[in-house]
Amino acid sequence: MFSSPHNKVIKRLLVMRFSAMGDAAMTVPVLYALATQHPQLRITMLTRTRFVPLFEWLPANVLVRGVDFAQHDGIIGLTRLYNRLKDGHFDAVADLHDVLRSKYLRTCFSMAGTRVAVIDKGRREKKELIGHGQTHPALKPMMERYAEVFRSLGFDIDLSEPIRVDLRHESMASVRTLVGRKQAGEQWVGIAPFAAHAQKIYPLERMQQVANLLADKGYKILLFGAGKKEADILAQWEKPTSKENSPFSIQSVCGKLGGLKNEMLLMAQLDLMISMDSANMHIASIFGTPVLSIWGATHPKAGFSGYGQPADTELQRPDLPCRPCSIYGKTPCQFGDLRCMDIQPGTVVEKALQLLNEKA
């Protein structure tokens, strides 16, 4: 417990981060550090209902509450949500999002006399980075920005030691029913080829080549995605095998694991995840899984690298002065050819093999 600058001891803290999934996932190591380094603090994490599984692995002094904005949208809905939240008698509120919804809620708390701290997203610095990835210095990592919010409330947070969520007590039954047990000497590679925006997606035909090349070398490939469209694409990539313990050398788990929690359990079992600059990169990183990430329109210098992932595991074209063309990958390619994604499958496979051999 610590006293805020208002000399009020903070025992109960409300933390808000609603979207996107990757950004929410990046709060997990910071919350883990806060909760373990300040065990007397009672933390309530407010996030979207579908993101709740991201936080169920945290220590017992962290309570996660999901919110469905279909029921709590607009001024009336947010006011109703605030009226429910204020029953938690929070001593402080940490806004890790700084969007209209979180601004309204934090304003309500502030007007009631509750201490409020808000993230500095570094919007100006990020704008200056666009088109200057070759020469601009790297920006502050997003997780450090999260930590600064808590430090402004008086909480010291040490992020210097690796933080890994322990899943040894979790049941793997549902996962094993689908993918089986990992055999002695077997290595599993996850591939998550999709992202929220097209400018962040490695060409799918090339990623399929990556999957085939790795499968041909004896690795079990597990394909991750979400939604029917992605499931239909990944189903076409599946490849059977003659091994009795595993019917597939390339297997899609898209929509088959029963939800995000089991997907995370499987990610924690991988020897390597190959992904875009996406939520899958961040989720796998939470559990200490090595990630080989492929970057196109966006850039690691913006501060969104996977937690604990070395810089040399980020595949990108360093020779393009147009990168990043946007911070989040929303801006269409000015050339119309996504030249930032002109990375050969052999290059991806070579790096993947290097990381797998290092782990073996």
Q: What is the pLDDT of residues 93-108, one digit of tens each?
A: 999 999 999 999 999 9
Packing angle of the helix pair 204-216, 345-359 (nearest 10 deg): 40
Q: Residue 164's pLDDT is what?
A: 75
Checking if the pLDDT of 22 tops 60, the result is yes
Strands 291-294 and 272-276, by their bridges, are parallel
Q: Residue 119's pLDDT is what?
A: 98
pTM of the model: 0.94
31-40, 51-60, 243-252, 318-327: segment of lowest average pLDDT: 243-252
How does the average pLDDT of the chain come out, rounded?
94
| 173-359 fold | Rossmann fold (3.40.50)
Residues of each domain in the chain carrying CATH 3.40.50.2000: 2-152, 173-359
333-342 long-range Cβ contacts below 8 angstroms, 24+ apart:
333/199, 333/297, 338/198, 338/199, 338/203, 338/296, 338/297, 340/199, 340/295, 340/296, 340/297, 340/316, 341/201, 341/202, 341/203, 341/294, 341/296, 341/317, 342/317
Checking if the pLDDT of 35 tops 80, the result is yes
pLDDT confidence tier of residue 360, bands split at 50, 70 and 90 = low
Q: Are 349 and 272 in contact (CB under 8 A)?
A: no
Average pLDDT over residues 52-72: 95
Q: Residue 245's pLDDT is what?
A: 65
pLDDT confidence tier of residue 5, bands split at 50, 70 and 90 = very low
Checking if the pLDDT of 291 tops 50, the result is yes
Pick the more confident residue, 241 or 270. Answer: 270
* pLDDT tens digits for range 142-163: 999 999 999 999 999 999 888 8
CA nearest neighbour of 139 among 153, 128, 149: 128
Task: Tally DSSP H helices, then E strands, for the chain.
Answer: 11, 14
Q: Domain 2-152 - what CATH class? A: alpha beta
* pLDDT tens digits for range 125-136: 999 999 999 999
Average pLDDT over residues 2-25: 84
Measured distance CA(41)–CA(62) in Å, rounded = 9
Checking if the pLDDT of 358 tops 70, the result is yes
Q: Are 40 and 1 in contact (CB under 8 A)?
A: yes
pLDDT confidence tier of residue 307, bands split at 50, 70 and 90 = very high
Q: Are 153 and 10 in contact (CB under 8 A)?
A: yes
Q: Residue 7's pLDDT is what?
A: 59
Q: Residue 13's pLDDT is what?
A: 98
Average pLDDT over residues 16-25: 96
